[in-house]
Amino acid sequence: MPNIKLNYKNLSWLWLTALIIVLDQGSKLLMSYWLHVYELRPVFSLFSFTLLHNQGAAFSFLNDAGHWASWFLGAIAISVSAALVIWMLRMEPQKRWLLASAALILGGALGNVIDRALWGHVVDFLLFHYRNFYFPAFNLADSAITIGAIILVIVTIFQMKYEDEI
């Protein structure tokens, strides 16, 4: 078995994970206090706040599947979170963009896991729309996951391009 060096210093990136969790949970509590479920509060022509309880995954996938889906998705998120921490520990410390990406995805995943554990659903409240088209509502945790995934894809593409030139 190869000798794998663990870089515990990389766990210092968990400050970003913690920040995402605090901002996500705080915003969900605020919106749950401020809005009633399905209430729509327009902010400007393309954006509104709303309060939705999503038992499913992103974009309400499996939302009507019942409580089993929420627990199943929570178990997947916990497994992915453990894998992300292991990946962070094995990563070279100079790979800051990858560490930031992992920390963002981890924070988003755990933010939504907390919702599932506490309420049995994820609280969504950000809603973009144009005329009769409504993008599925989402939250700050979903945004962190998306931004982290975009960073991961961009870094991976640039890494592959650089390695091809060597």
Contact present, 38 and 134 (Cβ < 8 Å)? no
Q: Which of 24, 64, 124, 164 is catalytic?
A: 124
The residues facing 50 across adjacent strands are 40
Q: Which of 103, 76, 79 is nearest to 89 (CA)?
A: 103
Residue 24 falls in the annotated catalytic set: no
Q: Which of 24, 64, 115, 142 is catalytic?
A: 142
Residue 124 falls in the annotated catalytic set: yes
Contacts of 141 (CB under 8 A, 6+ apart): 20, 24, 107, 108, 109, 110, 111, 112, 115, 122
From residue 69, give the alpha-carbon distance in Å to each of 1, 12, 145, 148. 37, 33, 19, 24
From residue 45, give the alpha-carbon distance in Å to each of 31, 32, 71, 131. 20, 22, 36, 9
Contact present, 40 and 50 (Cβ < 8 Å)? yes
Active site residues per annotation: 124, 142
